[in-house]
Structure 1
Amino acid sequence: MEADDRKPTLVASTNDTYSCSISISHSREKELRKNDAAQEGTECVEDEDLKKGEDQWTRDEDLEVNYFKSAQWTPDGTTLLTSSADNQIRTFILPPTLLDDPSTPLSLTPYTTHTFPTPVNCIAPYPHYTLSDPSTTLYLSCPNSLPIRLSNILSPTATPQASYNLICPTTEKYLTPASILWSSPGTHFLTGTECLISHFDISRPGSGSVTILPTIPSKRHKIKGGGVGMRGIVSALSLQPCTDPSNTSILAAGTWTRWLGLYDASGLGGTVATWDISAAADSESGIGGQGLSQVGWSSCGRYLWVAERKSRGVLVYDVRVTGKLVTWLEGREAETNQRMGVDSFEGEKGMEIWTGGTDGVVRVWEGVGRKEGGVECDWEWKAHDDPIGSTILHPSGTVITTCSGQRAETNIDVLVDDDDTSDEDSSDDESAPNSLQSPPRTPKDTGRTPDNSLKVWSL
């Protein structure tokens, strides 16, 4: 079948609501909520965090484009959870009538918006999430330099139900996980930080990890662990699909230093294997890369796929033979430091790999693992005009979601005299009552509208 015949149909989108600066997007979002409330005959509850969009002057960071960093489906397939440049987690609940009239795409408006004081590194919805049961509508978040939070998606505020501390024992500062993963059966979760995988019990709020797994024997050794294990920040975590009656499986972990590790007993056991993937990515396949951003498994648990930042492809390993590279998927346009999400699905021809690129194109590889060597994508389609941060399939496999956008420097006019803008007229302490304020700024018209959007497609 030709690629043109297989292009999915757009059924829902945020349109241009967020294709602008942070401050303007907040104003647009507020108007959408007012309109929705008017149609439903209810009163619109104003979000204090959106009021800053009404100010004549805004902070410099509010002039940045409000791009989508990531998106995830909840396990029951009813809700989308997104993370954006404005440090907000948004919830989009999709209606049951989503696919009734594909000729008229629905306009998506967030059901809840949770504002965080710092950027959010990663999020993870509860594995037993059920929209009809509010006690299960939970998600974990990792705001920078703060405790890990457990929050309710349906709550109108970002106040967490519980928090968990991950603190460096030597400096006593909060460590921010670069990766987070719920472990089966959803009573515990794992986090990845520098040379460390930590295991938390959600029934112990306010406490630290119950178990830790150092990825190297000692950080004090001259060569970081004496050459044993893998060093670096653990940037990717994924559990092998469970086939063992003991309800345990192999944990795959990857680092920004381009190492891959396998750990027994869902990450609580011993080290199965560790190896450096740089030779496979640079020399053998030629797709390049500068650090693992994501790892994932085939449904049978045999194949492990590996995605890197600044890479032109995806590596696929056979875990039955440690470090055996089976194939690599060529043509993935992801030569950027931005995380570019990858998803896998078990289709009619075997494992499928779906990923978006910096060119706004979604590419699909089918029957992954059946061929050796380099493999080009089977089909593709243009979904966005900016890089695609996430490409995620609905649990049913009939709907796919993409989100787009990228960090961009905003051209600004400084509406003050040059004599008043010396380096001395600045202060890092915004809370200081007598600190000098930054000059008021307004965005310039760059002539191009960014594509910061969330789209839902029917396959």
Structure 2
Amino acid sequence: STSENNELTSDSIRMDVTTDTNTAEEALRSPCYNFQSTHEILNSESFFSPEQYLDSCKWSPDGSCLLTCCADHRLRLFDLPAEVYSTKEMNTLDKLNGPFKPSLTVSENGAVYDYEWFPFMSSWAPETACFISASSCAPVHLIDAFTGTVRASYIGYNNVFEVASCFGLTFTCDGGKIYCGYRNMIKIFDVAVPGTTCQTLNTKRLNEQTGYISCISQNPSMRTLFAAGSFSRTIGLYTEEGDAVCLLKGQRNGLTTLTHSTDGTKLFSGSRMDPEILCWDLRNPGEVLHVLPRVMDTNQRIRISVSVDGNHLLSGGTDGVVRIWNLDEVSRKSGICEPTFKFKAHMDCVNGVSLNSRVPILATSSGKRHTPDLVSDDESDQVFSFKNFANKTENRVALWWVGPKSTTTSEPLNP
């Protein structure tokens, strides 16, 4: 049957990935990042129109391509140029020719709420080259990164047996399961079993956590434990077996982003219309260790990310500035911790930041929803004026060199 074939294929993929995990980890070496100097090497220029504001960007685990999400309900994949992928020094990138254009476009039927790469994705193993996507009133799709076709669908129903929207999702660290957030529910799907079969956790009953589960992050050290953020301003800690550990409160507004430190002892959270990233101590749940300030005055997701080596945390902001914190320095402080480095990346909102795991390249995405100006001339037949609309928008993907031998300097705040 079809389900048996899907299961066999997924199991074989999982077996291959498990066998090659040690080899992959040995081959993967975190690059040397130098945030004191940044240099833009490539960008998408005017590919995106003023109405096509970007939502975020994420490098693939093997560092070969960048996945972006846009307001036009499309996911776009950009291939990293070969000369960038193999370089170690800035001076070898002087002859890059733009613009940076997507090699693959995937259309969803509604607004894309979240997406995530398969954790063992490798362009050398086509069966692992895939990602998941959650969009409005649609199943979660497992999408082939080479062809853009849907490999499998994972369907979550609500109480009246309608297809429910998943607002936040993530793969487990071993790639075997998918955590999906719904209203008052978390559904856990087995990657090998597409369809409706899943484990359901009722967050309202288990942990008094209500609202839409908008972001989920699995603890990389204690893999039976995961955190789920809600638009009701709470973070719930759960086990995969269905037990509630605790409920964290303290964020000003609805949660939009969550990520763990690489050692699993800390949890970083951010919310909409909230200028604070909170660092929670998971060894003493409920305690906020640090507050990391950023500029955030919209309801959109401004994602945060931690470098592969676990040494840096990055975030964008609605002021167009990328902020970087050295987590080793942060751990020696308390209270409010200003960023170690920052630089102006875009004139519009920076909503996505992602560090390449193979080469010292930082990807940023920019854009937000803008409204045209009202026409003040009574003699005009138009209600809105688009005269200055394009001047205040910047919907762009940019690649920044953050390794040795860069030419322009960012601002070190704590030298």
Alignment equivalent of 1:252, drawn from 227, 250, 259: 227
Alignment of 1:175-190 (within 5 A): 175-190=164-179
Residue matched to 2:281 = 318
Q: CA deviation at 1:165?
A: 1.1
Structure 1 unaligned residues grouped into runs of 5+: 22-64, 218-224, 279-288, 422-440
Q: CA deviation at 1:188?
A: 1.4
Alignment of 1:56-455 (within 5 A): 65-98=51-84, 99=87, 101-105=92-96, 106-155=98-147, 158-168=148-158, 170-205=159-194, 207-217=195-205, 228-242=207-221, 248-264=223-239, 267-278=240-251, 289-330=252-293, 332-345=294-307, 351-366=311-326, 367=328, 368-396=330-358, 398-410=360-372, 444-446=386-388, 448-449=390-391, 450-455=393-398
* 3-state DSSP of counterpart to 1:407: coil
Q: Deviations over 1:343-385 (max 9, x none)?
A: 11266xx742211111101111112322111111112100001
Does the aligned pair in 1 maintain the 2:308–2:357 contact within 8 Å?
no
Partner Cα separation in structure 1 for residue 108 and residue 395 of structure 2: 20
**TM-score (norm: length of structure 1):** 0.73
Q: Which has the higher contact order (CA 8 A, sep 6+)?
A: 2
Q: One-letter code of the match for 2:232?
A: T
Does the aligned pair in 1 maintain the 2:231–2:255 contact within 8 Å?
yes
Partner Cα separation in structure 2 for residue 377 and residue 211 of structure 1: 40
Partner Cα separation in structure 2 for residue 142 and residue 303 of structure 1: 27
Q: Deviations over 1:435-459 (max 9, x none)?
A: xxxxxx9984326432110011111
Alignment equivalent of 1:8, drawn from 18, 35, 38: 38
Partner Cα separation in structure 1 for residue 140 and residue 197 of structure 2: 11
* 3-state DSSP of counterpart to 1:386: coil
Q: Deviations over 1:389-438 (max 9, x none)?
A: 1011112472211000111224699xxxx99x9xxxxxxxxxxxxxxxxx
Q: Identity over aligned residues, as a percent?
A: 26
Q: CA deviation at 1:5?
A: 8.2
CA RMSD of aligned residues (A): 2.6
Provide closer, same or farther for how the CA distance between residues 202 and 5 of structure 1 changes in structure 2, counting only shifts above 3 A. Answer: closer
Partner Cα separation in structure 1 for residue 358 and residue 237 of structure 2: 29
Alignment equivalent of 1:458, drawn from 391, 398, 401: 401
Q: One-letter code of the match for 2:266?
A: Y
Q: CA deviation at 1:299?
A: 1.3
Does the aligned pair in 1 maintain the 2:259–2:267 contact within 8 Å?
yes
Partner Cα separation in structure 1 for residue 373 and residue 297 of structure 2: 24
Count of residue pairs brought into register by the alignment: 357
Q: CA deviation at 1:127?
A: 1.3
Partner Cα separation in structure 1 for residue 123 and residue 359 of structure 2: 19
Provide closer, same or farther for how the CA distance between residues 442 and 320 of structure 1 changes in structure 2, counting only shifts above 3 A. Answer: closer
Q: One-letter code of the match for 1:107?
A: P
Q: One-letter code of the match for 1:96?
A: A
Q: Deviations over 1:108-144 (max 9, x none)?
A: 1111111222111111111121112221111111121
Q: Deviations over 1:319-356 (max 9, x none)?
A: 111101111112x0012101101111266xx7422111
Provide closer, same or farther for how the CA distance between residues 379 and 296 of structure 1 changes in structure 2, counting only shifts above 3 A. Answer: same
Structure 2 unaligned residues grouped into runs of 5+: 1-33, 403-415
Q: CA deviation at 1:258?
A: 1.0
Partner Cα separation in structure 2 for residue 346 and residue 326 of structure 1: 22
Q: One-letter code of the match for 1:6?
A: Q
Larger Rg: 1
Q: One-letter code of the match for 1:88?
A: R
Partner Cα separation in structure 1 for residue 362 and residue 212 of structure 2: 30
* 3-state DSSP of counterpart to 1:161: strand
Partner Cα separation in structure 2 for residue 410 and residue 161 of structure 1: 40
Provide closer, same or farther for how the CA distance between residues 323 and 101 of structure 1 changes in structure 2, counting only shifts above 3 A. Answer: same
**TM-score (norm: length of structure 2):** 0.80
Higher mean C-alpha displacement, 97-106 vs 299-308: 97-106
Does the aligned pair in 1 maintain the 2:372–2:384 contact within 8 Å?
no
Partner Cα separation in structure 2 for residue 365 and residue 410 of structure 1: 36
Q: One-letter code of the match for 1:452?
A: N
Residue matched to 1:33 = none
Partner Cα separation in structure 2 for residue 353 and residue 154 of structure 1: 30
